[in-house]
Amino acid sequence: MEYRTLGRTGLRLSAYGLGGMMFGSWGNPDPDECTRMIDLALESGINFIDTADTYGSGESEEIIGRALLGRRDEVVLASMYSSMSKERLERGNSRLWILRGVEASLRRLQTDHIDLYQLHRPDPLTDIEETLTALDDLVHQGKIRYIGTSTYPAWELVEAYWVSERRGLARVVCEQTPYSIFAREPERDVFPVTQRYGIGVLVWSPLAGGWLTGKYQRGKPIPEDSRIARAATWGPKGAARYHLDRPGNQRKLDLLDKLAKVAEQAGLSLTHMAVAFTLVHPAVTTTILGPRTYEQLKDLLGGAMIHLDPDTLDAIDRIVSPGTIVERADRGWNPPWMARRSRRR
């Protein structure tokens, strides 16, 4: 396993991290299999585990907390804060909800500190100074060690950096961003900012929500346990996004045919090529793997030592240009306030 430094922290993380989004009712409700995945990850040299309070409505944190009992110090443990309730007032990145959120996560994780505590999404209604001051207090209390963000636009990373500098607060040390062959926008804006300000990058969705696994091909049935097959249970909006007849998805199928040929020429599976691609950019510290099953993780780890050669990278660039995104819906998040007319006109 390769290890890389997270920004300017001096903290060394494994190039692959284990993500817990699929632990619990969202993906794999079997805690024993989830624990086996954690065992396999640690045995393979992974020292970074990432979860969030909302994953499985807290189940993911609980599973990880139990699995790490007696070996908590073997990993850099990360979690993310976001609303855990449908209550109207429990929203946003205010001091009140952050302090409540971290205490709840500590209980579920059965630990006295979280190594990396991340803001799951930006909050346009809360002053960033309010948010950073609350996180700085948590750092000084020893409840969290480092501060991170997830799916933040480049300009908000810069704003957070300079507010921390001006106020002498603990600064954001990393950004967790969706990045894949299908979603290369971070190369254009987020990565230059993180490199300029010494911010580490954690990659999520390296397989573009399962598209880059090679499961989906024209003329072949959709696997029953795939994300697209399960999307029908996510309501009309979720099902519509993954419908293969959508123009955006038709374009993905066209690109997948071309990418599969590139992978074959390189002697790789499409999955291994796609994950290895995300680690090529010098801004990236760690790519987070989000397996649902033990066998999926085992396969992903089989490509841990793969390095793509220049010819393969050039071929990928010809199919999906650097700095572009195949479909806007794959950005991972669209600011909800953009739905307001006053934000557009």
Catalytic (active-site) positions: 55
User: Ramachandran region of residue 320, left (φ > 0), alpha (ψ -120 to 50) or beta?
Assistant: beta
Q: How far is CA 61 from the centre of its chain?
A: 16
Q: How many CB atoms lie within 10 A of CB 31?
A: 16
Task: Give Dmax over CA atoms of the chain in angstroms.
Answer: 58
**Cβ neighbours of residue 146 under 8 Å, at least 6 residues apart?**
6, 9, 11, 115, 116, 117, 139, 170, 173, 174
301: its two tokens: 């780890």
> Using CA atoms, how far apart are residues 208 and 153, in angstroms rounded to an integer?
19
* Contact predicate 242/249, CB 8 Å: yes
